Amino acid sequence: SRFETCWPALMKDSHGVIIIFNPELPSHLKEIEMWYSCFVQQQPLLDSQCLLVAHHKPGSAGDTENLSLAYPLNKIKLIHSNLEDDPEDVRMEFMKYFKSIITFIDESREREEMSIIS
């Protein structure tokens, strides 16, 4: 993509990655592998620092049960969002994700400080 030159700037010092995709588009399922490879594996971030969001458009079939992603994407937390049905669920999942990232940042900062002291 024409924005690839900006990616290093976007990735610099990032603590988490949220990948939102349309599960009904086969091309998106291929693309999220590329996003995962570039933004998670190459940084490297832990899988727990990544969140996948399968966003179902209003009125779409929204088959949330049968979306099976191949390795390594199947190791990542996947949530389904459909803002018609249950926006509250999605909000809760986002809050959980952000809390886990903040905890991760705090813990790594503590580890850094301890390594400086010792």
What CATH number has the domain bearing residue 89? Answer: 3.40.50
Asked whether residue 17 is assigned to any structural domain, the reply reads yes
DSSP state of 48: G
| Other C-beta atoms lying within 10 Å of the C-beta of residue 17 | 20
**CA dist 34 to 8, 15, 59, 107, Å?**
15, 19, 28, 29
Asked whether residue 18 is assigned to any structural domain, the reply reads yes
Asked whether residue 104 is assigned to any structural domain, the reply reads yes
Query: If pLDDT is split at 50, 70 and 90, which confidence band does 83 have?
Result: confident
Asked whether residue 2 is assigned to any structural domain, the reply reads no
Asked whether residue 6 is assigned to any structural domain, the reply reads no
Query: If pLDDT is split at 50, 70 and 90, which confidence band does 42 have?
Result: confident
Asked whether residue 67 is assigned to any structural domain, the reply reads yes
> What is the mean pLDDT of the segment spanning 64-69?
73
Asked whether residue 46 is assigned to any structural domain, the reply reads yes
> How big is the chain, counted in residues?
118
pLDDT at residue 10, as a whole number: 80
pLDDT at residue 88, as a whole number: 85
pLDDT at residue 102, as a whole number: 96
Of residues 78 and 65, more confidence is placed in 78
Answer positive or negative: Cα dihedral of 96, 49, 20, 70.
negative
Which amino acid, residue 98?
Answer: F
Domain residues for 76?
11-117
Which amino acid, residue 108?
Answer: S
Stated pTM of the model: 0.82
Residue of 19, 20, 37 lying closest to 83 (CA atoms)? 20
Query: If pLDDT is split at 50, 70 and 90, which confidence band does 61 have?
Result: low
